[in-house]
Amino acid sequence: MTKDLTIVTGGAGFIGSNLVEELARRDRLAVVIDDFADGDKSDNLTHSNIHAQVPWTAAFDWLDGHADRVSQVFHLGAISSTTASDIRLLLDKNVHFSNAIWTWCTRHGTPLLYASSAATYGDGERGFSDAMALDQLKTLEPMNPYGRSKQLVDLRIMRSVAAGEPTPPVWYGVKFFNVYGPREHHKGDMRSVALKLYEKVQAGGTIELFRSYRPEFADGMQLRDFIHVSDCVDVMLWLMTRRPESGIFNIGTGRAESFLEIANAIIATTRAQTEIRFVDMPVAIRERYQYFTEADLGKLRAAGYNGRFRTVAEGVADYVQALAAGTR
């Protein structure tokens, strides 16, 4: 039997649906495993290469019945809200399900790429290096339950590897930084700042950014590693095609840019006549707010990836063009 199916868990979501679209361009059949209760994701399920849509609760029955056709698994499905507080659901969807995917791919000899998160780095005090050894990973302190759920999976996998236990033939954990781009409309308050500001401008409103509460950062100059979703897809497919040594890899641009640069890019590309004003940051998040994130790409570059990443100005221009063309 030909192994002609690529599994994409979370394939109806933001990053997953963009991956499915690129797989379509490469004439690869995709099986989407997701929670289809969210009707807002329906626009993300129109790709002609979708071979099957499988509810996440039936995932392993389906996988067991079609194992001889599965060529690779991209495990991107998860609760991705950084404000999620239901620990039981986070454990079920982000931890237990991920561990079961790892076990299934190990048992069937199937290459696996799974989504970790830059949220595992916490406040960044210990840096943003994906080359950390297990003992270093243990010292990371994520700032919310979502980040901790991703950290649990990373640690479980790295412990298994360190103990010499069986693994998938190749595996990659990818730590996404601040991703933006098409098909994130369903994410509610977790939509990227680029989309939120675009929507504000289109409605004729004023752009609002948080004031800074640290003297070394001017208002609006809080820094993030913002990466366009298409650049994320390029890295994931490169990893699973070129097959460098297994491990955890950052997926960011390696270049921190400010929220003010996002705002200016939105204004420039929409040609909006609006102004930027600075507002108080909610007290509840001031002590936990990250002022700087930047992916260390040394490991990815050393593995051979030489792709170029969009700047904020370039990526926002591409995104606005897609939104203007009707892509949600």
Render pLDDT for 16-72 as a digit per residue (tens, 0 to 9).
Answer: 999 999 999 999 999 999 998 877 888 899 999 999 999 999 999 999 999 999 999
CA 295/CA 175 separation, integer angstroms? 9
H/E/C letters for each residue in 152-217? Answer: HHHHHHHHHHHCCCCCCCCEEEEEECEEECCCCHHHHHHCCHHHHHHHHHHCCCCEEEECCCCCCC
Residue pair 70/45 in contact (Cβ under 8 Å)? The answer is: no
Q: Which helix (H) or strand (E) holds 32?
A: strand 29-34
pLDDT in tens, 222-246: 999 999 999 999 999 999 999 999 9
Question: Any residues with CB less than 8 A from the CB of 283 and at least 6 apart, and which?
Answer: none
Residue pair 157/171 in contact (Cβ under 8 Å)? The answer is: yes
Q: In residues, how long is the chain?
A: 328
CA 262/CA 220 separation, integer angstroms? 10
Parse the chain into domains and list their residue ranges: 5-179+225-253, 181-224+256-292+316-324
Among the residue ranges 76-85, 88-97, 273-282, the one predicted with the least confidence is: 76-85
User: Based on the number of CB atoms within 10 Å of its own CB, is 273 exposed (0-12), middle (13-18) or buried (19 or more)?
Assistant: exposed
- Provide the 3-class DSSP secondary structure of residue 115: strand
pLDDT at 328: 80
Q: Has this prediction a pTM greater than 0.85?
A: yes
**Residue 93 is a catalytic residue:** no
CA 114/CA 245 separation, integer angstroms? 15
325: phi then psi, degrees, rounded to nearest 5: -85, -5
Based on its alpha-carbon atoms, the radius of gyration of the chain, rounded to whole angstroms, reads 20
Residue pair 174/236 in contact (Cβ under 8 Å)? The answer is: yes
pLDDT in tens, 304-327: 999 999 999 999 999 999 999 988
pLDDT at 284: 86
Amino acid, single-letter form, for residue 207: I
CA 152/CA 175 separation, integer angstroms? 13
pLDDT in tens, 86-107: 999 999 999 999 999 999 999 9
Q: Are strands 223-224 and 257-258 parallel, antiparallel or unpaired?
A: antiparallel
**Residue 138 is a catalytic residue:** no
* Side-chain-side CA neighbours of residue 39 (13 Å): 0
Nearest to 32 by CA among 73, 92, 81: 73
Q: Mean pLDDT score of the chain, rounded to an integer? A: 96
Question: Any residues with CB less than 8 A from the CB of 302 and at least 6 apart, and which?
Answer: none
CA 74/CA 10 separation, integer angstroms? 9
User: What distance separates the 2 farthest-apart alpha carbons in the chain?
Assistant: 62
Task: Exactly one of 187, 196, 200, 305 is catalytic; name it.
Answer: 187
pLDDT at 282: 93
- Provide the 3-class DSSP secondary structure of residue 227: strand
Residue pair 61/31 in contact (Cβ under 8 Å)? The answer is: no
**Over 80: is that where the pLDDT of 297 sits?**
yes
**Over 80: is that where the pLDDT of 1 sits?**
no
H/E/C letters for each residue in 120-133? Answer: HHCCCCCCCCCCCC
pLDDT at 83: 85
pLDDT at 40: 81
- Provide the 3-class DSSP secondary structure of residue 249: strand
CATH assignment of 181-224+256-292+316-324, given 3.90.25.10, 3.30.70.20, 3.40.50.2300, 3.30.300.20?
Answer: 3.90.25.10
pLDDT in tens, 173-220: 999 999 999 999 999 999 999 999 999 999 999 999 999 999 999 999
Q: Check: CATH 3.40.50.300 for 5-179+225-253?
A: no
**Bridge partners (DSSP) listed for residue 180:** 228
Residue 160 to residues 102, 138, 141, 165, 168, Cα–Cα distance (Å): 11, 14, 21, 5, 11
Question: Any residues with CB less than 8 A from the CB of 211 and at least 6 apart, and which?
Answer: 219, 278, 279, 280, 281
Task: Exactly one of 114, 121, 146, 180 is catalytic; name it.
Answer: 146
